[in-house]
């Protein structure tokens, strides 16, 4: 029996064997890119192939400066690096340090050639693009009847608005005759009359999507009278159909979102419009009412009643003022009177009685004439410090009355 | 699509235009009512545009015949 080795031992043995081949330390390999995956770590995993076979390749993030373009399916490249055994998977692979484009891979070259040609003819021109209707009642779909794409579209369309009519025109989307089948589908739906057409399929390799890069498909899309939304593969896949279509959706699901307005949105928009219409009219009515009110107020201000009231107010005001002025005058005069009294008192005759003069009164009158009294009459004599009551003895004209 | 009939979006736009006219404070109350009625009628048209009947997915064959499409056929 032969010697028995562990897997690790035999892999290590083969690894060493290859490592001795100096030619494999730096080798350039030519082929078409397939299954390229840009990993989030920065590493790129891909396969190179030609019609005889495939070669696993990896380009580490650390070597990324050796790649100046984005690798796509079907591109022809020349990758330079070392070939080593990857022991975990028991396979050898190319650790690429530098990748350059080899002219262009076969399919990719055809793609670019057709793209340039159609672009030159103006088929991608923005001016030919039809608007996708805001609201489509009937939506045509050209895709495989059994694919995931149609299910995605139906599901999303139905969820957004179940009242939209979907019409599927089943088409073969890959393999021989696919392009013609897609063209027939587009033409059939255009004849039938729908508001918008979705043309597409789910993701796949460049070969799988190839029908959407065929010139007859591009021409059918361009000639179609109905707006067309293309929905081929994934976000990163760009086909000729995408460039010609009136609108490109990144995926079939996105196409459904682009073409079907959610019913709730429509309903809300209608309600909002109805509410603002009402608000607006309500506002106008209130404005007119306000205007009416203002006019009434202005008119009332001009009525005779108001004028009379105004005059009355004026009258009352004047009266008030007059009374105030009168009151002021009165006070002032009273004050003046008081002052006069004081002055007058200072000049009172009593002050003169100091020097022996008296003021005589008889029967309440000043005694100025002899004839005013006769014997026995009472006479009052006012002196400076009091009064003397006396009686007339006799009277004698031109003689001073004798006082007893 | 070349028909003269208004699309839903055109109908919506037309209601918005009516609203714009209503926003003019100089508008008479009579016109205001007239526009309001026009707007509400237009909204009714909008509502009718959305033919509120749940629809089955249809299938169009090569002869231009339409039949019900059985959904859920899977891969």
Once rounded to an integer, what is the mean pLDDT over residues A99-110? 72
Chain B: residue whose CA lies nearest to A286: B29
Question: Please, which pLDDT band fits residue A403 given cuts at 50, 70 and 90?
Answer: low
Task: Give the residue, A211 or A343, on which the prediction is more confident.
Answer: A211
pLDDT band at A272 (very low <50, low <70, confident <90, very high): very high
The reply to whether A276 touches chain B by the CB within 8 Å rule is yes
pLDDT at A350: 66
Assess B41–A contact: CB distance below 8 Å, yes or no. Answer: no
Confidence at A160, pLDDT banded by 50, 70, 90: very high
Query: What whole-number distance in Å separates Cα of residue A120 and Cα of residue A114?
Result: 10
Query: How many residues would you count in chain B?
Result: 75
Residue B54 and residue B56: Cα distance in Å, rounded? 7
- Please report which confidence band the pLDDT of residue A169 belongs to, taking 50, 70 and 90 as the band edges: very high
Which pLDDT tens digit goes with each residue over A349-377? 666 666 677 888 888 888 888 888 888 88
CB pairs under 8 A between A and B: 113
Encode burial over B12-46: b for 16+ CB neighbours within 10 A, e otherwise.
bebbeebbeebeeeebeeeebeebbebbbebbebb
Q: Which band of pLDDT confidence, cut at 50, 70 and 90, is reported for residue B9? A: confident
pLDDT value for B74? 42
Q: For A135, which of B7, B15, B55 is closest by C-beta distance?
A: B7
Other Cβ atoms less than 10 A from the Cβ of B47: the count is: 16
CATH homologous superfamily of domain A7-103?
A: Nucleic acid-binding proteins (2.40.50.140)
B1 pLDDT more than 50:
no
pLDDT of residue A399: 57
Measured between beta carbons, which residues in chain B are less than 8 angstroms from residue A170? Answer: 59
Touching check for A268 and chain B: CB below 8 Å?
no
Nearest CA distance, B3 vs chain A (angstrom): 12
Average pLDDT over chain A reads 89
**For residue B7, how many other CB atoms are within 10 A of its CB?**
17
pLDDT at A59 over 90: yes
Average pLDDT over residues A139-166: 94
On whether residue B74 sits in a domain, the answer given is no
- How large is the angle between the packed helices A148-160 and A252-259, nearest 10 degrees? 30
CA distance A285 to chain B (A): 7
Predicted confidence band of residue B75 (pLDDT cuts 50, 70, 90)? very low
pLDDT in tens, A255-268: 999 999 999 999 99
- pLDDT the model gives residue B2: 41
Position with higher pLDDT, B71 vs A85:
A85
Q: Which helix (H) or strand (E) segment is B58 a member of? A: strand B58-60
| CB spacing of B59 vs A167 below 8 angstroms | yes
- Three-class DSSP labels, chain A: CCCCCCHHHHHHHHHHHHHCCHHHHCEEEEEEEEEEEECCCCCEEEEEEECCEEEEEEECHHHHHHECCCCCCCCEEEEEEEEEEECCCCEEEEEEEEEEECCCCHHHHHHHHHHHHHHHCCCCCHHHCCCCCCCCCEEEEEECCCCHHHHHHHHHHHHHCCCCEEEEEECCCCCCCHHHHHHHHHHHHHHHCCCEEEEEECCCCCCCCHHHHCHHHHHHHHHCCCCEEEEECCCCCCCHHHHHCCEECCCHHHHHHHHCCCHHHHHHHHHHHHHHHHHHHHHHHHHHHHHHHHHHHHHHHCCHHHHHHHHHHHHHHHHHHHHHHHHHHHHHHHHHHHHHHHHHHHCCHHHHHHHCCCEEEECCEECCCHHHCCCCCEEEEEECCEEEEEECCCCCCCCCCCCC
Average pLDDT over residues A222-240: 91
Alpha carbon of B53: minimum distance to chain A alpha carbons (Å): 5
Q: Say whether residue A404 is in contact with chain B using an 8 A CB cutoff.
A: no
Domain that holds residue B62: 8-68
- Are B18 and A277 within 8 A, CB to CB? yes
Residue B73 confidence (pLDDT) above 50: no
Among A39-48, A178-187, A190-199, A290-299, name the one with the lowest average pLDDT: A290-299
pTM of model > 0.80: no
Distance from CA of B11 to the nearest CA of A (A): 10
Q: Is residue B75 part of a domain?
A: no
Both tokens of residue A281? 């009219």
Shortest CB distance from A170 goes to which of B35, B53, B59?
A: B59
Q: What is residue A352's predicted lDDT score, i.e. its pLDDT? A: 66
| Under 8 Å between Cβ of A168 and A197 | no
pLDDT at A404: 55
Taking the Cβ of residue B73 and every Cβ of chain A, the question of whether any pair is shorter than 8 Å is answered with: yes
Sorted by sequence, the CB contacts under 8 Å of residue A105 that are 6+ apart come out as: A32, A33, A74, A75, A76, A77
Which among A358, A159, A177, A378 is positioned nearest to A256, based on CA atoms?
A: A159
ipTM, two decimals, is 0.78
Q: Could you tell me the pLDDT band of residue A320, with boundaries at 50, 70 and 90?
A: very high
Residues of chain B neighbouring A151 (CB-CB closer than 8 A): 71-72, 74
Distance from CA of A276 to the nearest CA of B (A): 8
- pLDDT at residue B51, as a whole number: 81
Supply the pLDDT for residue B3.
44
Share of chain B above pLDDT 90, in %: 0
- Average pLDDT, integer, range A107-119: 86
| Angstrom distances, CA of residue A197 to CA of A161, A359, B66 | 17, 142, 16
Contact B19 A147 (CB under 8 A): no
Q: Is the pLDDT of residue A162 over 70?
A: yes
Number of folded domains that form chain B: 1
Rounded mean pLDDT, B16-23: 88
Q: What's the confidence (pLDDT) of residue A115?
A: 92
B35 inside domain:
yes
At residue A275 the predicted structure's pLDDT band, cuts being 50, 70 and 90, is very high
Mean pLDDT calculated for residue range A284-291:
89
**Domain for residue B73, yes or no?**
no
Q: State whether residue A203 sits within 8 Å of chain B by CB.
A: no
Q: What is the mean pLDDT of residues A294-322?
A: 87
The answer as to whether B63 is a domain residue is yes
pLDDT band at A344 (very low <50, low <70, confident <90, very high): confident
- CATH value of A136-261 in 3.40.50.2300, 1.10.3720.10, 3.40.50.720, 3.40.50.300: 3.40.50.2300
């Amino acid at each position: 029996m032969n010697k028995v080795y562990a897997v690790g031992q035999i892999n290590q043995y083969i690894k060493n064997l290859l490592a001795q081949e100096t030619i494999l330390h730096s080798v350039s390999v030519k082929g078409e890119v397939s299954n390229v995956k840009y990993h989030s770590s920065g590493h790129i995993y891909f396969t190179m192939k030609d019609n005889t076979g495939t070669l696993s390749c990896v380009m580490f993030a650390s070597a990324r400066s050796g790649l100046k373009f984005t690798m796509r399916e079907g591109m022809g490249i020349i990758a330079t690096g070392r070939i080593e055994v990857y022991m975990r998977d028991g396979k050898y692979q190319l650790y690429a340090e530098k990748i350059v484009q080899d002219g262009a891979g076969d399919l990719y070259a055809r793609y670019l050639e057709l793209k340039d040609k159609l672009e030159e003819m103006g088929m991608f021109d923005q001016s030919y693009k039809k608007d996708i209707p805001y609201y489509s009642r009937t939506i045509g779909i050209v895709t495989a009847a059994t694919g995931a794409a149609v299910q995605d579209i139906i599901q999303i369309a139905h969820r957004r608005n179940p009242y939209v009519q979907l019409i599927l025109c089943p088409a073969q989307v890959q393999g021989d005759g696919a392009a013609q089948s897609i063209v027939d589908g587009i033409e059939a739906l255009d004849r039938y009359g729908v508001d918008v057409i979705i043309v597409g399929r789910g993701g796949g390799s460049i070969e799988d999507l190839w029908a959407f890069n065929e010139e007859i498909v591009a021409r059918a899309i361009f000639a179609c009278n109905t707006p067309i939304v293309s929905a081929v593969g994934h976000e990163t896949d760009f086909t000729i159909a995408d460039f010609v279509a009136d609108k490109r959706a990144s995926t079939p699901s996105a196409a459904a979102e682009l073409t079907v307005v959610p019913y709730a949105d429509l309903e809300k928009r209608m309600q909002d419009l109805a509410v603002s219409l009402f608000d607006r009219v309500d506002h106008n009515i209130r404005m007119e009412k306000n205007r009416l009110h203002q006019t009434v107020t202005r008119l009332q201000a001009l009525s005779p009643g108001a004028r009379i009231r105004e005059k009355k107010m004026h009258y009352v005001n004047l009266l008030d003022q007059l009374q105030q002025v009168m009151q002021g005058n009165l006070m002032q005069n009273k004050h003046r009177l008081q002052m006069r009294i004081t002055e007058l008192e200072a000049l009172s005759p009593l002050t003169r009685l100091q020097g022996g003069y008296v003021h005589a009164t008889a029967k309440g009158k000043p005694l100025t004439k002899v004839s005013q009294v006769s014997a026995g009459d009472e006479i009052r004599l006012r002196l400076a410090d009091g009064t003397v009551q006396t009686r007339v003895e006799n009277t004698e004209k031109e003689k001073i009355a004798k006082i007893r | 699509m070349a028909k003269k009939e208004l699309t839903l979006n055109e109908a919506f736009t037309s209601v918005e235009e009516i609203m714009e006219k209503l926003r003019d404070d100089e508008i008479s109350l009579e016109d205001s009512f007239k526009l309001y009625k026009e707007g509400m009628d237009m909204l009714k048209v909008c509502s009718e545009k959305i033919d509120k009947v749940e629809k089955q997915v249809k299938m169009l064959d090569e002869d231009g015949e339409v039949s019900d499409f059985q959904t859920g056929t899977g891969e």
